[in-house]
Structures are given as structure tokens and as C-alpha cells.
């Protein structure tokens, strides 16, 4: 009897040990497959140099290349010969950051096994507001003040090298994902292979969004990137903007757009949305198009909307600059340039935005509301609109300049699991370098009012914009 019990115990223990050993071997194998050889990191660096030198649409691109080369740290100085994707990101992204263009950067890699903070944030003028949470002790809308005795300003300073942009306010928009990856980007000292996920504790000082806005210190534990969506879905989040929606304020129709692209089934949904909105509201006298925060890169989104308000063919001339190189053959042909040979000249090319009447045509006065975060194709559309109509835009100056880079391409490195976006062209209007888009009617807005808007508590800018439209309506 004792012998049989002993055999059973040995069998059970052996099974457990074998299972754990096999699990560890599998995890070790996965870990080894995630590692990026130093040669691949070197190739990424060379890609950055090649794109900057041959594709990036700037007269100063060779100077930028020199700056990148001087900042590059020889990989032979590293003790390791293989790196995890997040480590590769920490090597190459600061180099791209030298370019100072929000449209030229690496996206931070996010693998399922990464440790992340149990909340996401948005950053507004240096203040960090929680947008979603996966723990009871921190609510959406709370303000983060400290994480493990490091103030928010210190954390921002540490994370800024991993962002890209012409100024701080542009760069702080890219801190959203980086903040949640603090355990990997800033705090991971060494990587190890394990069967079970080990949570790490963080002391977080927050200012509650409820009651008296009191400060409190809470202890939270990290989650894996894979588990965070499931865990956070159990708790309330701050409101998010829909891709497109319509409301009516008397004889003023308000179209609110978010950031989206006309891919897949979205195009049909968008066309149906526009048709239904216009068919059932033909009597609109005024239309307010709200493009705050819109960063869409597809000009057709706005073209298809605006064509419902033109009663004849309308043509607006624009200018764009592209380097005359074999790397840009497709982009050059798109803008009517017959490529013959590489000259490396930055060509200034005239092109046209053509608007054809689209049924149903609505005879309404169109106004546009935008804010400092409006960029890319949305900014291009507003600039084009301002060429046609005077005194019809409301909001605040954009952070992105009128002559901004465009025609973005992406390149994914399968070994490093990194995606790089880069521009092949730059808008080239006759405006001074660094000129931003200015509204006809400017609305001053405070940081606190921006935060209240993000939380869905109030919308100061929208209220003021309606007042402008209605006051002009009365005068007419």
C-alpha cells in the first residue's frame, strides 16, 4: 500500500515537474524568437538614413542626416547582441525624433506579454488625465500627479525623446501610449523568462475627479497588454468621439467628425450617413462642421461632404513639393510628373482640388470649427475652404503648420516588430515657414476648459462657436 502511494506521488510530482519544464521551454523558445539581432537594428538605422536622405521632402535633409549620424551610438558599444523590440524602439526612435516631424516616427511596439499600467491617459498642457482604468482605485477623469515618487513633469521629460514633432504640444499628444508602457520603457531593468506573469506594484498619486478633488495615493499592479482591454471594459471610461454624427440646433445643422478613413465598410456607412442627413434636413440655413481634433489623412472625407454645398464645378489650386527621385515615382505620377531620372531636386508642383456638385445639393452657409489639434487632410480642407469663403471659420490656431508633410507611407520591420511612418511630400503654399492655420473668429480656451471637454462635462468652444454663427445669422 505504501509503495503504491509512493509511486502515485512520484508519478504526480514527475508530471508536475515535466509540465512546468515543458512550459518553461516553450516560454524560453518564444522569448528567443522575440529577440532582434544587432544586424537588424543596424539595418533599421540605415533605413532611417536612406529615407531621410532620399525621400524626406526638405531642403535641409542632408543636414538632418548629419545630425542623426552624430547622435547614433555604435551598436558595438552595447554588451548585448540581441534586443527585445521595445529596446530596439528605445534605440532608433530618438534618432528619428531629431527630424522634428510628427509624420516621421516609429510606433511603439506592444506585445501581448508587455507589462502596462492599469490605466490609460491623455496629456493636456502637461496635465495627465485618466481616460480608461482597469482598477477600482483610479477612475476615468482622475488626474495623475506622481508615479513611484516621480512627478508627472519628470515622467514627461523622460518620455519626450521617444516622441516626434515640431514643438512640445505636438509631442505631448504621442505620450498617450508611452505612459501606459512606463513599466517597459522606463522601469524594465532586465528581462527574464517565466511561466507565470509577475505583477509589479506602483504607487500612484492621483487627484480625484469626484467630490472635493482631493489627492490620494493608491497602490496598483501592472497588467499584461493582452489582458488590459478585458479588465478595463468592466469600468466606466471617458466619452470618445464617433467617426461622424449629426445634430440640429434650430436651423443650424451640426456635423461632428472624428478621425477615420474611408476603408472597408466605412465608406458605405459614411455615404449613407451624409445622404440621410441631407435628405431629411434640406431646409437647413446654416451648417457647422466640427473638425476639432481630427487628424484624418484622407482628403476625400471632406471633399465628399463639401460637394453637397457647391452648385457648380469648383476648382482650387494648391501646391506640393516632392523630391525628384526614383524612390518617389508613384507619388510623382500621382501629381502628374513624368519621371525620367533622379535629380534629387525638391520639385514644387501645382495640383487642383476639384469639387463637383453632389446630390442632394444643400443651399446652406457652411461654417467650420477647428482647434489646435486639427491636422493633416482636415487642415488642408479648411485651408482650401478659406480660399473660397471669407469669415467662415471659428476656433484656435493649429499646432500643425499649413506647409506640413503629407503623402505618408509605412514600413513594417517583421524582425523588430516596429512600424515606421514617413512622408514623401510637403504642402508648399506661398506662406512663410512655420505659418499655422488661423481661424477668422478666434476662441480663447483654458487648460481647464480643455479638460472639461475631454471629460464630457462641458464644451466651451462649441458653445462659443454656436454663438458666433447665430450672431452672424441675426445680422444678415
Q: Is residue 82 part of a domain?
A: no
Which pLDDT score is estimated for 402? Answer: 96
118: domain CATH number? 2.30.42.10
Which residue, of 184, 206, 238, is where some domain finishes? 238
Please, which residues bridge with residue 319 across strands? 350
Together in a domain, 255 and 139: no
Same domain flag for 218 and 294: no
Beta-sheet strands, E only, within 291-447:
314-323, 346-355, 365-370, 393-395, 405-413, 418-427, 441-442
Domain limits for position 150? 103-238
Predicted local distance difference test score (pLDDT) of residue 202: 95
222 phi/psi in degrees, rounded to 5: -70, 160
Residue 87 lies in a domain: no
Residue 89, in any domain of the structure:
no
| 135 and 217 share one domain | yes
Q: Are 214 and 316 in a shared domain?
A: no
- 278 within a domain of the structure (yes/no): yes
Which set of grid coordinates corresponds to residue 81?
547582441
The single-letter DSSP state of residue 401 is B
- Mean pLDDT in runs of 10 for the chain (476 residues)? 67 66 61 80 93 95 94 72 89 94 94 92 97 96 95 96 94 94 87 67 92 85 94 95 94 95 91 95 94 96 96 96 95 94 95 95 95 97 96 97 94 90 96 94 97 95 95 63
Last residue of a domain, one of 238, 270, 286: 238
Residues 397 and 458 in one domain: yes
Length of the chain: 476
- What confidence score (pLDDT) does residue 198 get? 79
Task: Answer yes or no: is 413 within a domain.
Answer: yes
Residue 218 near residue 137, CB atoms below 8 Å: yes
Check whether residue 220 and residue 250 sit in a common domain: no
Please check whether residue 410 lies inside any domain of the structure. Answer: yes
Domain stop point among 238, 254, 276? 238
Residues ≥6 apart with Cβ < 8 Å to 59: 346
- CATH number for the domain spanning 400: value is 3.90.226.10
Burial classification of residue 190, based on how many CB atoms lie within 10 Å of its CB (0-12 exposed, 13-18 middle, 19 or more buried): exposed
Same domain assignment for residues 224 and 316: no
Domain count of the fold of the chain: 2
Ranges of beta strands (E only) in 331-400 are 346-355, 365-370, 393-395
Q: Distance between CA atoms of 144 and 149, rounded to whole angstroms?
A: 12
Tell whether 282 and 394 lie within a shared domain: yes
Cis peptide, bond prior to residue 251, ω within 30 of zero: no
Residue 26 within a domain: no
- Please indicate, yes or no, whether residues 379 and 453 belong to a single structural domain of this protein: yes
| Spatial CA neighbour of 440 closest among 381, 374, 375, 369 | 369
Are 121 and 219 within one domain?
yes
Residue 164 domain flag: yes
389: Cα separation from own chain's centroid: 30
Pairing of strands 286-290, 252-257: parallel
Percentage helix, strand, coil for the chain under 3-state DSSP, each rounded to 5: 40, 25, 40
Looking at residue 435, what DSSP letter applies? P
Q: Say whether both 432 and 303 belong to one domain.
A: yes
Residues 149 and 232 in one domain: yes
Amino acid at each position: 500500500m505504501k509503495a503504491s502511494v509512493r509511486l502515485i506521488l512520484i508519478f504526480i510530482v514527475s508530471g508536475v515537474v515535466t509540465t512546468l519544464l515543458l512550459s518553461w521551454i516553450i516560454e524560453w523558445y518564444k522569448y528567443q524568437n522575440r529577440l532582434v539581432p544587432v544586424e537588424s537594428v543596424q539595418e533599421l538605422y540605415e533605413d532611417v538614413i536612406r529615407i531621410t536622405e532620399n525621400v524626406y521632402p526638405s531642403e535641409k535633409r542632408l543636414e538632418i542626416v548629419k545630425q542623426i549620424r552624430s547622435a547614433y551610438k555604435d551598436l558595438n558599444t552595447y554588451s548585448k547582441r540581441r534586443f527585445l523590440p521595445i529596446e530596439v524602439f528605445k534605440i532608433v526612435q530618438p534618432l528619428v525624433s531629431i527630424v522634428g516631424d510628427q509624420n516621421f516616427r516609429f510606433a511603439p511596439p506592444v506585445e501581448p506579454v508587455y507589462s502596462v499600467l492599469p490605466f490609460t491617459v491623455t496629456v493636456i498642457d502637461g496635465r495627465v488625465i485618466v481616460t480608461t482604468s482597469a482598477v477600482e482605485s483610479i477612475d476615468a477623469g482622475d488626474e495623475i500627479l506622481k508615479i513611484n515618487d516621480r512627478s508627472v513633469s519628470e515622467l514627461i521629460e523622460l518620455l519626450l525623446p521617444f516622441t516626434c514633432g515640431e514643438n512640445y504640444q505636438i509631442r505631448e499628444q504621442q505620450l498617450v501610449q508611452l505612459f501606459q508602457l512606463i513599466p517597459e520603457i522606463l522601469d524594465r531593468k532586465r528581462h527574464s523568462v517565466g511561466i507565470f506573469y509577475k505583477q509589479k506594484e506602483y504607487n500612484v498619486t492621483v487627484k480625484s475627479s469626484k467630490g472635493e478633488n482631493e489627492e490620494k495615493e493608491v497602490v496598483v499592479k501592472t497588467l499584461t497588454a493582452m489582458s488590459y482591454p478585458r479588465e478595463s471594459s468592466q469600468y466606466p471610461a471617458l466619452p470618445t468621439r464617433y467617426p461622424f454624427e449629426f445634430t440640429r440646433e434650430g436651423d443650424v445643422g451640426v456635423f461632428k467628425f472624428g478621425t477615420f478613413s474611408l476603408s472597408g465598410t466605412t465608406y458605405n456607412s459614411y455615404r449613407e450617413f451624409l445622404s440621410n442627413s441631407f435628405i431629411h434636413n434640406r431646409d437647413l440655413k446654416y451648417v457647422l462642421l466640427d473638425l476639432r481634433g481630427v487628424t484624418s489623412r484622407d482628403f476625400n472625407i471632406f471633399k465628399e461632404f463639401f460637394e453637397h454645398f457647391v452648385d457648380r464645378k469648383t476648382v482650387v489650386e494648391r501646391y506640393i513639393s516632392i523630391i525628384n527621385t526614383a524612390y518617389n515615382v508613384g507619388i510623382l505620377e500621382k501629381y502628374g510628373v513624368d519621371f525620367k531620372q533622379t535629380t534629387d531636386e525638391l520639385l514644387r508642383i501645382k495640383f487642383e482640388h476639384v469639387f463637383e456638385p453632389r446630390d442632394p445639393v444643400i443651399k446652406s452657409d457652411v461654417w467650420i470649427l477647428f482647434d489646435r489639434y486639427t491636422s493633416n487632410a482636415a487642415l488642408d480642407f479648411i485651408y482650401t475652404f478659406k480660399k473660397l469663403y471669407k469669415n467662415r471659420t471659428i476656433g484656435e490656431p493649429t499646432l500643425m503648420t499649413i506647409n506640413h508633410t503629407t503623402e505618408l507611407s509605412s514600413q513594417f520591420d517583421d524582425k523588430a516588430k516596429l512600424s515606421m511612418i514617413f512622408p514623401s511630400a510637403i504642402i508648399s503654399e506661398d506662406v512663410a515657414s512655420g505659418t499655422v492655420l488661423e481661424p477668422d473668429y478666434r476662441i480663447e480656451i483654458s487648460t481647464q476648459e480643455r479638460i472639461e471637454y475631454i471629460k464630457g462635462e462641458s464644451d466651451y468652444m462649441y458653445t462659443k462657436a454656436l454663438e458666433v454663427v447665430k450672431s452672424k445669422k441675426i445680422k444678415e
